Amino acid sequence: MSRDQIYSLPQTRIGDFTFDDAVADVFPDMIARSVPGYSSILSMIEQLASRFIRPGTNVYDLGCSLGAATMLMRGRAPATSRIYAIDNSPAMVARLKEQIGSEPNRCDVVVQEADICDTPMSNASFVVMNLTLQFVSIEKRTELIQTIYDSLIPGGAMLLSEKIRFDEHDQNLLMVDLHHDFKLAHGYSELEIAQKRTALENRLLPESIDEHTVRLRDAGFRCVAPWFQCFNFASILAVKMEPAGPGTELSK
Ligand SMILES: C[S@@+](CC[C@H](N)C(=O)[O-])C[C@H]1O[C@@H](n2cnc3c(N)ncnc32)[C@H](O)[C@@H]1O
Ligand SMILES: O=C(O)C(=O)C[C@]1(C(=O)O)C=C[C@@H](O)C=C1
Protein backbone atom coordinates (compact mmCIF):
# COMPACT_ATOMS: atom_id res chain seq x y z
CA MET A 1 0.00 0.00 0.00
CA SER A 2 1.52 3.40 -1.01
CA ARG A 3 2.09 5.80 1.86
CA ASP A 4 0.25 9.14 1.90
CA GLN A 5 2.84 11.94 1.77
CA ILE A 6 0.72 14.45 -0.14
CA TYR A 7 0.98 17.22 2.48
CA SER A 8 4.42 16.33 3.84
CA LEU A 9 6.31 19.18 2.15
CA PRO A 10 5.47 22.86 2.75
CA GLN A 11 3.18 24.23 0.02
CA THR A 12 3.13 27.91 -0.90
CA ARG A 13 -0.52 27.79 -1.91
CA ILE A 14 -2.80 25.07 -0.62
CA GLY A 15 -5.59 24.32 -3.08
CA ASP A 16 -8.92 22.74 -2.19
CA PHE A 17 -8.75 19.00 -1.51
CA THR A 18 -9.69 16.92 -4.58
CA PHE A 19 -9.94 13.21 -5.20
CA ASP A 20 -7.37 13.25 -8.00
CA ASP A 21 -4.78 10.68 -9.12
CA ALA A 22 -2.37 11.56 -6.30
CA VAL A 23 -5.08 10.96 -3.67
CA ALA A 24 -6.42 7.82 -5.36
CA ASP A 25 -2.88 6.33 -5.39
CA VAL A 26 -2.54 6.55 -1.60
CA PHE A 27 -6.20 6.46 -0.58
CA PRO A 28 -6.27 3.21 1.47
CA ASP A 29 -3.34 4.43 3.59
CA MET A 30 -4.77 7.97 3.84
CA ILE A 31 -8.20 6.94 5.04
CA ALA A 32 -6.93 4.29 7.47
CA ARG A 33 -4.60 6.83 9.13
CA SER A 34 -7.14 9.68 9.04
CA VAL A 35 -10.47 8.23 10.12
CA PRO A 36 -10.64 6.65 13.57
CA GLY A 37 -12.74 3.51 13.35
CA TYR A 38 -12.71 3.26 9.54
CA SER A 39 -11.97 -0.49 9.56
CA SER A 40 -14.68 -1.13 12.18
CA ILE A 41 -17.22 0.79 10.09
CA LEU A 42 -16.30 -1.27 7.03
CA SER A 43 -16.69 -4.54 8.85
CA MET A 44 -20.12 -3.46 10.15
CA ILE A 45 -21.13 -2.52 6.58
CA GLU A 46 -20.33 -6.12 5.68
CA GLN A 47 -22.46 -7.40 8.57
CA LEU A 48 -25.35 -5.08 7.68
CA ALA A 49 -25.15 -6.15 4.03
CA SER A 50 -25.99 -9.72 5.09
CA ARG A 51 -29.03 -8.47 6.94
CA PHE A 52 -30.47 -5.91 4.56
CA ILE A 53 -29.60 -6.86 0.97
CA ARG A 54 -32.50 -8.71 -0.62
CA PRO A 55 -32.53 -10.90 -3.75
CA GLY A 56 -33.52 -9.01 -6.91
CA THR A 57 -32.86 -5.55 -5.43
CA ASN A 58 -30.29 -2.81 -5.96
CA VAL A 59 -27.55 -1.72 -3.59
CA TYR A 60 -25.89 1.69 -3.88
CA ASP A 61 -22.39 2.57 -2.67
CA LEU A 62 -22.48 6.36 -3.06
CA GLY A 63 -19.02 7.93 -3.18
CA CYS A 64 -17.47 4.46 -3.41
CA SER A 65 -13.84 5.64 -3.91
CA LEU A 66 -11.81 2.46 -4.50
CA GLY A 67 -14.75 0.24 -3.60
CA ALA A 68 -13.77 -0.95 -0.12
CA ALA A 69 -17.43 -1.22 0.96
CA THR A 70 -18.55 -2.55 -2.44
CA MET A 71 -16.13 -5.49 -2.28
CA LEU A 72 -17.24 -6.45 1.23
CA MET A 73 -20.93 -6.15 0.33
CA ARG A 74 -20.44 -8.24 -2.78
CA GLY A 75 -19.26 -11.12 -0.60
CA ARG A 76 -22.60 -11.01 1.23
CA ALA A 77 -25.06 -10.06 -1.51
CA PRO A 78 -27.36 -12.58 -3.22
CA ALA A 79 -26.30 -13.26 -6.84
CA THR A 80 -29.59 -11.77 -8.11
CA SER A 81 -28.94 -8.39 -6.50
CA ARG A 82 -26.86 -5.68 -8.18
CA ILE A 83 -24.44 -3.20 -6.63
CA TYR A 84 -24.08 0.26 -8.14
CA ALA A 85 -20.72 1.75 -7.10
CA ILE A 86 -20.85 5.45 -7.92
CA ASP A 87 -18.24 8.18 -7.64
CA ASN A 88 -17.59 11.43 -9.50
CA SER A 89 -13.80 11.15 -9.28
CA PRO A 90 -12.41 9.84 -12.60
CA ALA A 91 -9.24 8.73 -10.76
CA MET A 92 -11.17 6.56 -8.28
CA VAL A 93 -13.55 5.14 -10.87
CA ALA A 94 -10.73 4.18 -13.28
CA ARG A 95 -8.91 2.24 -10.56
CA LEU A 96 -12.05 0.49 -9.36
CA LYS A 97 -13.09 -0.49 -12.90
CA GLU A 98 -9.66 -2.04 -13.44
CA GLN A 99 -9.97 -4.10 -10.31
CA ILE A 100 -13.54 -5.29 -10.39
CA GLY A 101 -14.54 -8.03 -12.78
CA SER A 102 -17.42 -10.42 -13.01
CA GLU A 103 -17.14 -13.31 -10.58
CA PRO A 104 -19.07 -16.57 -10.84
CA ASN A 105 -21.98 -16.81 -8.40
CA ARG A 106 -21.50 -13.22 -7.27
CA CYS A 107 -23.82 -10.31 -7.99
CA ASP A 108 -23.07 -7.78 -10.74
CA VAL A 109 -21.23 -4.62 -9.78
CA VAL A 110 -21.87 -1.60 -12.00
CA VAL A 111 -19.21 1.08 -11.55
CA GLN A 112 -20.39 4.53 -12.64
CA GLU A 113 -18.63 7.88 -12.84
CA ALA A 114 -21.46 10.21 -11.85
CA ASP A 115 -22.59 12.86 -9.40
CA ILE A 116 -24.67 11.11 -6.75
CA CYS A 117 -26.98 14.16 -6.68
CA ASP A 118 -28.02 13.44 -10.29
CA THR A 119 -28.22 9.66 -10.05
CA PRO A 120 -31.62 7.99 -10.29
CA MET A 121 -32.05 5.20 -7.73
CA SER A 122 -34.77 2.60 -7.37
CA ASN A 123 -35.67 -0.76 -5.82
CA ALA A 124 -32.89 -0.36 -3.23
CA SER A 125 -32.53 -2.60 -0.19
CA PHE A 126 -29.29 -1.08 1.13
CA VAL A 127 -27.65 2.29 0.46
CA VAL A 128 -24.22 3.19 1.83
CA MET A 129 -22.82 6.73 2.06
CA ASN A 130 -19.58 6.20 3.92
CA LEU A 131 -17.90 9.61 4.40
CA THR A 132 -19.40 11.10 1.22
CA LEU A 133 -22.34 13.36 2.16
CA GLN A 134 -19.83 15.66 3.92
CA PHE A 135 -18.50 16.60 0.45
CA VAL A 136 -21.95 17.43 -0.99
CA SER A 137 -23.02 21.08 -0.69
CA ILE A 138 -25.39 21.57 2.23
CA GLU A 139 -28.23 22.89 0.00
CA LYS A 140 -28.28 19.60 -1.93
CA ARG A 141 -28.26 17.23 1.04
CA THR A 142 -31.99 17.23 1.82
CA GLU A 143 -33.01 16.36 -1.73
CA LEU A 144 -30.37 13.62 -1.93
CA ILE A 145 -31.50 11.99 1.32
CA GLN A 146 -35.12 12.19 0.11
CA THR A 147 -34.17 10.51 -3.19
CA ILE A 148 -32.49 7.72 -1.22
CA TYR A 149 -35.48 7.27 1.08
CA ASP A 150 -37.87 7.15 -1.87
CA SER A 151 -35.69 4.57 -3.66
CA LEU A 152 -35.68 2.14 -0.71
CA ILE A 153 -38.04 -0.80 -0.46
CA PRO A 154 -39.88 -1.17 2.86
CA GLY A 155 -37.45 -2.72 5.35
CA GLY A 156 -34.50 -1.29 3.38
CA ALA A 157 -31.76 0.68 5.11
CA MET A 158 -29.22 3.38 4.63
CA LEU A 159 -25.88 3.67 6.38
CA LEU A 160 -24.51 7.20 6.69
CA SER A 161 -21.02 7.82 8.09
CA GLU A 162 -19.74 11.36 8.47
CA LYS A 163 -17.18 13.61 10.05
CA ILE A 164 -19.30 15.54 12.55
CA ARG A 165 -19.20 18.83 14.44
CA PHE A 166 -20.52 19.53 17.92
CA ASP A 167 -22.68 22.49 18.95
CA GLU A 168 -20.96 22.80 22.29
CA HIS A 169 -17.75 24.77 21.69
CA ASP A 170 -15.48 22.99 24.21
CA GLN A 171 -16.67 19.56 23.15
CA ASN A 172 -16.00 20.44 19.50
CA LEU A 173 -12.47 21.64 20.32
CA LEU A 174 -11.76 18.50 22.35
CA MET A 175 -12.93 16.13 19.59
CA VAL A 176 -10.98 18.02 16.89
CA ASP A 177 -7.93 17.84 19.15
CA LEU A 178 -8.32 14.11 19.79
CA HIS A 179 -8.61 13.55 16.03
CA HIS A 180 -5.41 15.55 15.65
CA ASP A 181 -3.70 13.28 18.23
CA PHE A 182 -4.99 10.24 16.33
CA LYS A 183 -3.29 11.50 13.16
CA LEU A 184 -0.03 12.22 15.01
CA ALA A 185 -0.12 8.71 16.49
CA HIS A 186 -0.51 7.34 12.96
CA GLY A 187 2.59 9.06 11.67
CA TYR A 188 1.34 12.36 10.22
CA SER A 189 3.40 15.45 11.08
CA GLU A 190 1.99 18.74 12.41
CA LEU A 191 2.67 20.24 8.96
CA GLU A 192 0.78 17.49 7.12
CA ILE A 193 -2.17 17.80 9.49
CA ALA A 194 -2.29 21.61 9.21
CA GLN A 195 -1.99 21.68 5.41
CA LYS A 196 -4.67 19.02 4.92
CA ARG A 197 -6.96 20.87 7.32
CA THR A 198 -6.62 24.00 5.17
CA ALA A 199 -7.29 21.98 1.99
CA LEU A 200 -10.45 20.47 3.49
CA GLU A 201 -11.77 23.70 5.00
CA ASN A 202 -14.16 24.67 2.20
CA ARG A 203 -14.61 21.15 0.83
CA LEU A 204 -15.67 19.01 3.77
CA LEU A 205 -18.60 20.57 5.59
CA PRO A 206 -19.45 18.65 8.76
CA GLU A 207 -22.85 18.85 10.44
CA SER A 208 -23.92 17.69 13.89
CA ILE A 209 -25.49 14.30 14.59
CA ASP A 210 -28.72 16.20 15.38
CA GLU A 211 -28.73 17.91 11.99
CA HIS A 212 -28.28 14.56 10.26
CA THR A 213 -30.91 12.89 12.42
CA VAL A 214 -33.51 15.59 11.79
CA ARG A 215 -32.90 15.45 8.01
CA LEU A 216 -33.25 11.66 8.00
CA ARG A 217 -36.46 11.77 10.04
CA ASP A 218 -37.91 14.53 7.85
CA ALA A 219 -37.26 12.37 4.78
CA GLY A 220 -39.43 9.65 6.33
CA PHE A 221 -37.01 7.32 8.13
CA ARG A 222 -38.78 6.24 11.32
CA CYS A 223 -35.83 4.37 12.77
CA VAL A 224 -32.69 6.53 12.90
CA ALA A 225 -29.99 4.90 14.99
CA PRO A 226 -26.56 6.44 15.55
CA TRP A 227 -24.55 3.25 16.14
CA PHE A 228 -20.91 4.38 16.06
CA GLN A 229 -18.92 7.37 17.18
CA CYS A 230 -15.19 7.89 17.64
CA PHE A 231 -14.11 11.48 18.31
CA ASN A 232 -15.54 13.59 15.43
CA PHE A 233 -16.63 10.69 13.23
CA ALA A 234 -19.99 8.97 13.48
CA SER A 235 -22.16 6.52 11.65
CA ILE A 236 -25.95 6.31 11.59
CA LEU A 237 -28.21 3.48 10.46
CA ALA A 238 -31.60 4.62 9.13
CA VAL A 239 -34.28 2.06 8.30
CA LYS A 240 -37.39 2.53 6.18
CA MET A 241 -39.98 0.70 8.22
CA GLU A 242 -42.31 -1.92 6.74
CA PRO A 243 -45.88 -0.59 6.50
CA ALA A 244 -47.85 -1.37 9.66
CA GLY A 245 -50.04 -4.45 9.37
CA PRO A 246 -53.87 -4.28 9.61
CA GLY A 247 -55.00 -3.15 13.02
CA THR A 248 -51.54 -1.92 14.04
CA GLU A 249 -51.40 1.57 15.54
CA LEU A 250 -49.04 3.92 13.69
CA SER A 251 -47.10 5.86 16.29
CA LYS A 252 -45.27 8.77 14.66
C1 LIG B 1 -13.95 9.84 1.81
S2 LIG B 1 -14.29 9.22 0.27
C3 LIG B 1 -15.41 7.86 0.55
C4 LIG B 1 -14.79 6.60 1.07
C5 LIG B 1 -15.49 5.34 0.65
N6 LIG B 1 -16.92 5.47 0.73
C7 LIG B 1 -15.01 4.18 1.49
O8 LIG B 1 -15.80 3.61 2.25
O9 LIG B 1 -13.83 3.82 1.36
C10 LIG B 1 -15.43 10.34 -0.50
C11 LIG B 1 -15.72 9.94 -1.94
O12 LIG B 1 -16.90 10.62 -2.34
C13 LIG B 1 -16.75 11.02 -3.67
N14 LIG B 1 -17.70 12.11 -3.92
C15 LIG B 1 -17.76 13.32 -3.31
N16 LIG B 1 -18.81 14.04 -3.78
C17 LIG B 1 -19.43 13.25 -4.70
C18 LIG B 1 -20.56 13.43 -5.55
N19 LIG B 1 -21.30 14.56 -5.52
N20 LIG B 1 -20.92 12.42 -6.39
C21 LIG B 1 -20.20 11.27 -6.42
N22 LIG B 1 -19.10 11.04 -5.63
C23 LIG B 1 -18.72 12.02 -4.78
C24 LIG B 1 -15.28 11.42 -3.80
O25 LIG B 1 -14.83 11.42 -5.13
C26 LIG B 1 -14.62 10.36 -2.93
O27 LIG B 1 -14.16 9.27 -3.67
O1 LIG C 1 -8.23 13.83 7.22
C2 LIG C 1 -9.24 14.33 7.67
O3 LIG C 1 -9.22 15.28 8.45
C4 LIG C 1 -10.53 13.79 7.31
O5 LIG C 1 -11.51 14.39 7.51
C6 LIG C 1 -10.55 12.46 6.74
C7 LIG C 1 -11.11 12.28 5.37
C8 LIG C 1 -12.63 12.08 5.37
O9 LIG C 1 -13.28 12.10 6.38
O10 LIG C 1 -13.16 11.91 4.27
C11 LIG C 1 -10.83 13.39 4.46
C12 LIG C 1 -10.38 13.18 3.21
C13 LIG C 1 -9.93 11.86 2.73
O14 LIG C 1 -10.87 11.39 1.85
C15 LIG C 1 -9.91 10.84 3.76
C16 LIG C 1 -10.46 11.04 4.95
Task: Write out the residue range of the structural domain in which residue 156 sits.
Answer: 21-239
**Does 6 reside within a domain?**
no
Strand, coil or helix: what is 98?
helix
How many whole angstroms from 199 Cα to the centroid of ligand 2? 10
Helix, strand, coil % (nearest 5) of the chain?
A: 40, 20, 35
Predicted TM-score (pTM) of the model is 0.96
**Does 210 reside within a domain?**
yes
| Helix runs in 131-222, H state only | 138-151, 169-185, 190-200, 209-219
Residue-level pLDDT at 242: 86
**Does 249 reside within a domain?**
no
**Pocket of ligand 2 contains residue 30 by CB under 6 Å:** yes
Between CA 239 and CA 224 the distance in angstroms is: 7
How many whole angstroms from 219 Cα to the centroid of ligand 2? 27
47 residue type, one letter = Q
Residue-level pLDDT at 252: 46
Number of structural domains found in the chain: 1
Q: What is the CATH number of the domain that holds 169?
A: 3.40.50.150
Q: Is 88 annotated as a binding residue?
A: yes
* ipTM score assigned to the predicted complex: 0.98
**Does 252 reside within a domain?**
no
- 152-163 and 233-239 beta bridge pairing: antiparallel
Residue-level pLDDT at 104: 87
**Does 1 reside within a domain?**
no
pLDDT of 67-102, one tens digit each?
A: 999 999 999 999 999 999 999 999 999 999 999 988
How many whole angstroms from 27 Cα to the centroid of ligand 2? 10
**Does 29 reside within a domain?**
yes
**Does 135 reside within a domain?**
yes
Q: Is 105 annotated as a binding residue?
A: no
